[in-house]
Amino acid sequence: MNKKMFNLVFVAPDQELAKFARIEADNLGCNMTILNAILDAPDISKLTDNHKSYDAVISRGGTAASLEKMLSIPVISINFSLSDLLNQLTPYKTRYKKLVLITYEKIAGIEYVAAALDLSIEFHSFQNQADIDRLLASYTPEQHLCIIGGVLVFQQAQQRNFNTILLKTASESVREAISRAISVSKFKHDVQRKASRLNTILSSVAEGVIVTDKFNRIELINPIAEKIIKNTHLNVIGKEISQLIPSSQTGLVIQSKKAHSGELIEIGGKTYVANRMPILVNQECLGVICTLTEENKIKHAEYKLRKREATKRGFIAKYCFDNILTRNDNMEKCKLLATMYSATDANVLLYGASGVGKELFANSIHFASSRRDNPFIAINCAAIPENLLESELFGYEKGAFTGANKEGKTGLFELAHTGTLFLDEIAEMPLALQARLLRALQEKEIMRVGGSEVIPIDVRVISASNKNLTQEVVKERFRQDLYYRLNHLFLRIPTLSERPEDIAYLSELFLAEHKIDIDRLQYEALLSYLQSYSWQGNVRELKFMMQRLALMIGLFPQQSYLSLFKSFCLFEESESREQHSNQDFKSRTLAFQVALIKQCLAENNQDYQRVSQILNISKMTVYRYLKQDVNTVINPDVNL
């Protein structure tokens, strides 16, 4: 630490000592103001008024003692050693019969100096001016003695015509005093810096913090805690905490030496979560650190954590009602009804065949609701094994079962707090799990697998099924009470076959997404076939089919839209096509399929994975077609 950082002041009772001080200060490289105790009396008065701007004061004897009483900063007194006294008195040992030493401080071992010099030395100490007058009055100049002392004693003895010796301080003692002042200042700065850091930490903490001593008296309190108890640190430091917070129970922590955490206490009509930690040193409790957090802040923090985790995992609504494209009146009515449902918090049951857009409606209902800024979480109940579905929905505690995450896991209900949980294919949920879901909906609370803590939840549930749940209830495959809990609001989404207008509208949109320059005549010829096609996969199937057709148009521009569409439809495994048993038909079909696969492989650098995606078949199917001895069963002149 730079010594120039310290601001010292040296009060010298004589000019010689002031000179020594200046030399030693320069040698030590410290910043020091030097005042003469006699000549600079006005400055000494200013020092008492502005002493807090200094780190320490250095002086000697009575001056140091007087300053220590007047000032609140450290005062360093210059030590006077026996060696200093011996060196100073040696020249006078043959001049006087007696030496009288009068100093403010008592000097132990004077008798050794007297013996060494073979002198008679009388020693006296004083506390004030009256003591000096009394001591000098007890001697007369005729006694052939010499008075030895500091500036005050020296000046007054001279006025009484005594032989006098001014007691001087060696430069080594001055250096040692300045070094001590620097050490004290360094320690003072360290303490101030640590105190400032501690105050900054306490002030920046969002919780109320109160620190007590081992007698349960308040030692520290931060601004948040001051607001909680509606008092200032000036009024509470030193008071027992129980006087201000009767329910603090910090006394129990001092006695037990054990922490008490997560307890609810009432202060000023508000509920706080209190954590109390003992301060233990060598098994002795020296006090308690008590933190107070407002209950609402914890709830808000928990909400933000859940929301961040949900956002991090992509649990947000990706679609709105504008993404539901239709030219069908019934679908427009569905959108209008769903929009009305969005204005409520009631659970919604969506019914419709696979691919009609149930998840699109679920997203849109959430996006248009008051929960839009909160998580939207979708889970397919048929896609997750029964033993995992429960832990996915409700979470689990660490060690709940073999293979569980050692930290435990937050369930989707917790992550969806204040948002929406979309349960797709709800009819596939096991009956045992249906009972647990029913309780969660009824009580608005859950319990993790392997846990004992009840967790409150605020979740809107939108469920979807491609099965008629009423019939599932009759067949006892679905709980009737759960059905009523889920079916507060009902929405049936029509199939694509029920809305022929959308087949034409959507197929053209899907083709346009792939930058296809549509041949209108070919498209019209294709459209009549599309209108009669059995769309088992509804809009999802239509989109994939148009994606495949767009790729085929790019690969085989000489082929008509209709022939291309029919050709890759032959890949679909359907009982309706088993009627084509004619060997020649099968051969030509196989020839077309193999040629199509080979052409796709050539266009895609023999990337089997890419070709399987384009044709919507598995890689194994690609290999199986290519392994067949095509030349024995097909017309070799078949071209694409």
- Among 238, 269, 298, identify where a domain stops: 298
Q: What distance in Å separates the CA atoms of residue 290 and residue 222, rounded to the nearest whole number? A: 11
Q: Which residue has the tokens 């100073």?
A: 88
Q: What distance in Å separates the CA atoms of residue 491 and residue 337, rounded to the nearest whole number? A: 8
Range of the domain at 222: 205-298
In a domain, residue 556? The reply is no
Shared domain check, 433 and 338:
yes
In a domain, residue 542? The reply is no
- Among 168, 197, 231, identify where a domain stops: 168
Structure tokens at 221: 């309190």
Mean pLDDT, consecutive 10-residue stretches, the chain (640 aa), reads 76 82 83 72 66 84 81 86 82 83 83 84 87 91 86 88 86 85 88 84 85 91 89 88 87 90 85 90 91 79 69 81 95 96 96 94 96 92 88 86 74 92 95 95 92 91 96 95 96 94 93 85 89 90 89 83 80 45 56 75 83 78 69 37
With a CB cutoff of 8 Å and minimum separation 6, the contacts of 434 are 478, 479, 482
Shared domain check, 470 and 352:
yes
The pLDDT of residue 574: 40
DSSP letter at 53 equals G
In a domain, residue 534? The reply is no
Structure tokens at 596: 């199509």
Long-range contacts made by residues 248-255, C-beta under 8 angstroms, separation at least 24? 248/210, 248/274, 248/276, 248/290, 249/274, 249/276, 250/212, 250/216, 250/276, 250/288, 250/290, 251/216, 253/277, 253/278, 253/285, 253/288, 254/212, 254/214, 254/216, 254/278, 254/285, 254/287, 254/288
Shared domain check, 421 and 285:
no
Shared domain check, 86 and 55:
no
Structure tokens at 561: 């839209």
CA-closest candidate to residue 188, choices 78, 75, 47, 281: 75
Shared domain check, 427 and 357:
yes
Shared domain check, 58 and 178:
yes
Structural domains counted in the chain: 5
Shared domain check, 180 and 36:
yes
With a CB cutoff of 8 Å and minimum separation 6, the contacts of 207 are 224, 291, 292, 293
The pLDDT of residue 46: 67
In a domain, residue 561? The reply is no
DSSP letter at 321 equals G
Structure tokens at 3: 């010594």
Shared domain check, 462 and 322:
yes
Shared domain check, 181 and 163:
no
- What CATH number did the domain enclosing 257 receive? 3.30.450.20
Are the C-beta atoms of residues 175 and 25 closer than 8 Å to each other?
no
DSSP letter at 124 equals E
In a domain, residue 420? The reply is yes
φ, ψ at 348 (rounded to 5°) = -125, 135
Shared domain check, 267 and 226:
yes
Handedness of CA 119, 125, 129, 135 (dihedral sign): negative
The pLDDT of residue 365: 97
Q: Is pTM, for the whole model, over 0.75? A: no
The pLDDT of residue 634: 34
- What CATH number did the domain enclosing 177 receive? 3.40.50.2300
CA-closest candidate to residue 213, choices 237, 196, 186: 237
Shared domain check, 463 and 338:
yes
In a domain, residue 548? The reply is no
In a domain, residue 128? The reply is yes
Shared domain check, 130 and 75:
no
CA-closest candidate to residue 552, choices 561, 544, 539, 543: 561
In a domain, residue 254? The reply is yes
- What CATH number did the domain enclosing 112 receive? 3.40.50.10660
